Amino acid sequence: MRFRAKIVDLACLNHFSRIINTIARLAKTCILRLTVCKLYFILSDKVANGGASMWCELSQGNFFDEFQMEGVAAEHNEIYLELVPENLSRALKTAQSAKAVKIKLTNKHCPCLRVAVELPSLSSSSRIVTHDIPVGVIPRRMWNDFREPSVPDFDVSIYLPVLKTMKSVVERMKNLSNFIVIEANLSGEMNLKIETDLVCVTTHFKDLGNPPWASEDGCQSSAQGRDLESMAEACIDIKKLQQLLAGQQVNPTKALCNIARKRIVHFILLHEEVSLQYFIPAIA
């Protein structure tokens, strides 16, 4: 089992760091899955995470100049590692002017991801900073725990409002309540509501648009036969929503959410080179 990768381009490094920063805000510990073509950051919906789960997928070719991976076995050519993304974020934070960043899986004293940053210096040789990030290697028998979650059977799918606006609304609401109701209909309308003993606050968004979902087996039927005005709502932990929005440092190309009435809200944020899905279960 080996893994080595190298980033030389500063823009790629910057972009990769921003993705790691986003992940670090969503999960204290998560799984990094490495395949020949892709990297995945996975958070499974354990109770410890408050039931929220995450699936983030990126193509290694868009970031790394070199990428070599050998999995546990030929027919299981993948590596699953458990790590603290905040460590990776910190390691990359001061690397923004680096000549090169190399990442390597090592096992000198315990399994680690060694991030080696080569920095420019006025002397004849470069400065090298190495960060040894301890990781846990997930054995093959546990890989099934980390499969891609399926898109829930949702009632409404809607594009999100401008994330910056949504974030500032949610941040203010967070001061008043621990839970937020997110509801939307198939006419492009969405409301964010909080309700406390003293006050109810609702923010209305309209003309958001509803993404078309291909009806593969007729389950996600089209708008016909459905009440366009009827709202599907779910009450979720406001902190989880705020963390998701606060972690977005760049505007996604597409941002949408799927609401399964009273069950779960599934957020999908798509950028050119990376996709992030975040599932927040509804509070009963």
Partner 1 sequence: LSRIGDELYLEPTESGLSLRAVNSSRSAFASFLFAPLFFQLYEPGSAGPDTELFRCKVHMKSFLGVFRSLPSLEKSVGKCLILLKPRASRLVLQLHCKHGVTKTHNLAFQECERLQAVFDTQRCASRLCAPARVLAEAVVHFPPTLAEVTLGTGPGGKISLRNYVEDEAEPSKTMVTELWLAEDEFQSAAVAPGSHITFCLKEFRGLLSFAEASNLPLTIHFDEPGRPVVFTLDDTVLEVHLVLATLSDLKSNSRSPSTNGVSHLPAPSDDFADDLESYMAAMETSEGGSGGPPSPTFPLRTSRPAESDPEEEEEEEEEGEGAVPGTPPHKKFRSLFFGSVMTPGRPGPATTQEVLAEDSDGEC
Which residues make up the interface to partner 1 (CB under 8 A)?
Answer: 1-2, 4, 72, 84, 87, 90-91, 94, 102, 104-111, 114, 116, 118, 121-125, 127-134, 136-137, 139-141
Taking the complex as a whole, how short is the minimal distance between the CB of residue 33 and partner 1, in angstroms?
16
Q: Which is nearer to partner 1, 2 or 147 (CB)?
A: 2
d(CA 82, CA 31): 4
Taking the complex as a whole, the smallest distance from the CB of residue 95 to partner 1 amounts, in Å, to: 9
Of 76 and 262, the one with the shorter C-beta distance to partner 1 is 76
Round to whole Å and give the CA distance between 244 and 171. Answer: 11
Q: Which CB atom, from 22 or from 89, has the smaller least distance to partner 1?
A: 89
Through-space distance between the first and last CA atoms of the chain, rounded to whole angstroms: 43
Q: Which is nearer to partner 1, 94 or 168 (CB)?
A: 94
Tell me how far apart the alpha carbons of residues 186 and 203 are, in angstroms, rounded to a whole number: 17
Whether 72 and 2 have beta carbons less than 8 Å apart is answered as no
Q: Is the dihedral of CA 208, 214, 217, 221 positive or negative?
A: positive
Nearer to partner 1, 98 or 244 (CB): 98
Task: Specify which residues 38 forms β-bridges with.
Answer: 59
What sign has the CA pseudo-torsion 141, 63, 23, 201? negative
